Structure formats: C-alpha cells, structure tokens
Amino acid sequence: MMKDPLKPILSVQNLNVSYGEQQALKNVTVNIPEKRITAIIGPSGCGKSTLLKSMNRLIDLTEGVKYSGKIFYHDTDIFDAKTDVTYIRKKMGLLAQKPCPLPMSIYDNVAYGPRIHGQENKKELDQIVERCLRSASLWDEVKDRLKAPASKLSLGQQQRLCLARALAVDPEILLCDEPTSALDPISAQSVEELLHELRKDYTVVIVTHILRQAMRLADYVVFLYLGELIEYGPVEKILKNPENATTQAYIKGIFS
C-alpha cells in the first residue's frame, strides 16, 4: 500500500469494529490527509459508514458495538479514556445521508451548536449565522425568513442548512455520509460544489456509493470490501489504474 506524503489530520491504526457477532471493520489502517477530500467507496455493507462514524466516535451510540485499535486526530488518540468526546465531535462536523434539521427556526438551527458551547452574545451569533449560511450558499435564499421553521425549506436547502449548522462550531473536518443520496440532481450538484469549495479550509471525508461522484470530488480514495481496506491512494490511481483485482472488478461494475 502506498504511503501518503501529505500531512495526515486523522490516522486510523489497526481499527476493528464489531456489532455483536458481526465484524464490520477488520484491521483497517489508513491516513486521512489534511485539507483534501477523501472518498470512502465500496459495496453496501462493507463498513463505509462504520469507518466514518468511528472518526468522531458516533459508533459509541450503537448498542453492542465493540472496537479496538487507535484513531489519532493530530496527536490525540480519540479512543483514549481521557479524550473529551464532545471536543472531538465539535472538531468533526457531520453531514448525514438525509437532511436532519432541528425542529426550530433556520436561525436557531445554525446558532444551536455555538450556544451549546457557551456563545450567548447576540451580535456574535448573528455574525456566525450569516457567515455559515453564506458558506453553505443559503444566505440569499433565507435572509428574510430566518425565524421561519427549518422544516419549511426544500430538501436541498435543508441539507445546505445542515452543512451551515456543522460549520457553525468551527470544525476542522467535515464527515459526510452519502450527503447527496436523498437529493434531486440539481441540489446534489450544489452540495458537491460546496464541498469542493470548502476543501480549501476544511478536511472532507465523504462516504459515497457513486463512483462518478468520487471521481468528481475526491483527491484520495479508500476502497473497502467486506470490512477490509483493499486499496488506498490518489483518485486517479485507484479509480483509473487500480492494482488489486477486487478493486478492478468493483470499478468495472462486476459487483456493487
């Protein structure tokens, strides 16, 4: 497996995850480079979402989960008992498969995270809300109805709102779990363009089952199969000239 010359912001080392008797990840070791887009690809049930949710310890919320190994965020082992999980999740915003706005106003959705972390200054909250809605290309569409329920937005707008909410707590990493799969093509393209733009300031890790999306967006690709890391490297190499026969078969569509 090739070594990545770029500085890793996340380093996954010998990660094993099991749900009851079912092992979802087997000895996965991979580095996630800083301020790049890394796509995690592979067939359904291969461990893509499990790997993603391990990175901010959301798997802790799954009943019966067991895991071993290490994941370093910079120099911090996120599985260490002394690690502040709230801090880890603050630094890693999550964009889920389906938009999940909170049952409150557009404004309060974006302000929710900063308030949780102690921000009470109205002027500063206003600035955070505007900045994050602008970053999510949503400000011009909602600036005159910030007090309206978020549920009134279209699905595409809701997903961009969720992105703004993720950005509001100043993360370093955006974890995206098939963030366009519930969207129409125009909304999906909008979210893709946003993620491509945000890679200048953030590290993006995206789970996708769409190879064309990985080709369009990613700098690096992680290919998982049956819980194992099969191949990892630059997108051009993995999707156009893979070394492993299983990767070759997947890219050709022999299985999905």
CATH of the domain at 199: 3.40.50.300
Give me the amino acid identity at 127. Q
Q: Is 107 a domain residue?
A: no
pTM above 0.85, yes or no: yes
Q: Which residue do the tokens 């051009």 mark?
A: 236
Q: Is 119 a domain residue?
A: no
Q: Is 209 a domain residue?
A: yes
Contact 235, 215 (CB under 8 A): yes
Q: What total number of domains does the chain contain?
A: 1
**Helix, strand or coil for residue 57?**
coil
Q: Is 215 a domain residue?
A: yes
- Alpha-carbon distance of 200 to 203, in angstroms, equals 8
pLDDT tens digits for range 169-191: 999 999 999 999 999 999 999 99
- Find the domain containing 31 and state its range: 8-98+172-251
Contact 59, 65 (CB under 8 A): yes
pLDDT value at residue 256: 74
- Alpha-carbon distance of 218 to 236, in angstroms, equals 9
Q: Is 2 a domain residue?
A: no
The kind and range of the H/E element at 225 are strand 220-225
- Alpha-carbon distance of 47 to 93, in angstroms, equals 20
**Helix, strand or coil for residue 118?**
coil
Statement: residue 14 has pLDDT above 70:
yes
- Alpha-carbon distance of 255 to 51, in angstroms, equals 21
- Alpha-carbon distance of 174 to 110, in angstroms, equals 16
> What residues contact 75, with CB distance under 8 A and at least 6 apart?
none
Q: Is 106 a domain residue?
A: no
Q: What is the mean pLDDT of residues 189-204?
A: 95
The kind and range of the H/E element at 214 are helix 211-217
Strands 203-207 and 37-41: parallel
Q: Is 157 a domain residue?
A: no
Q: Is 66 a domain residue?
A: yes
- N-term to C-term CA, the chain: 23
Instruction: Give the model's confidence band at 145: pLDDT under 50 very low, under 70 low, under 90 confident, else very high.
Output: very high
